[in-house]
Amino acid sequence: SSLCSVSRRRYWDLEVWRAKRDAREPSLTQAIINCYWSSYVVLGIFAFLEEGTRVVQPIFLGKMISYVENYDPNDSAALHEAYGYAAGLSACVLLWAILHHVYFYHIQRVGMRLRVAVCHMIYRKVSVTRYHCVYLP
């Protein structure tokens, strides 16, 4: 936890330094983006894989329906192909369930870290502002 706090503080201090250098106000949004972009890229890959399995499922289901519509009891190759489509559909459903729960768990963790970071920065800013107001002549 303290390592995360140091990391957030470092990104904020870097943003303050850049803002002073560029003669602008520091941006909390930019500091947060710089701190958490890698977590969101990994979660984006999980989301892409999850949605990819959702896209493939109807294709497998359509192939299975096509097999049932054109059923030929003497065509064993089509039967084995239908088994493959059923296995693919089952694998997609299982993969989607796993990816969905892993993605949801990690997005919740990153969201909570982000919440703590923003609350910390707001508290720090209020504390510094209040401190300066009390002791300034």
Pairwise CA distance, residues 134 & 89, whole Å? 66
- DSSP secondary structure letter of residue 136: -
Asked whether residue 123 is assigned to any structural domain, the reply reads yes
Residues 67 and 85: beta-carbon distance below 8 Å: yes
For the chain, how many structural domains are there in total?
1
pLDDT digits (tens, 9 = 90+) for 52-95: 999 999 999 999 999 999 988 898 999 999 999 999 999 999 99
Asked whether residue 11 is assigned to any structural domain, the reply reads no
pLDDT digits (tens, 9 = 90+) for 80-137: 999 999 999 999 999 999 999 999 999 999 889 888 888 887 787 777 655 555 544 4
Asked whether residue 21 is assigned to any structural domain, the reply reads no
Give the position of tokens 């999850």: 50
Which residue segment(s) compose the domain that 37 sits in? 26-135
Give the mean model confidence (pLDDT) for residues 6-17: 76
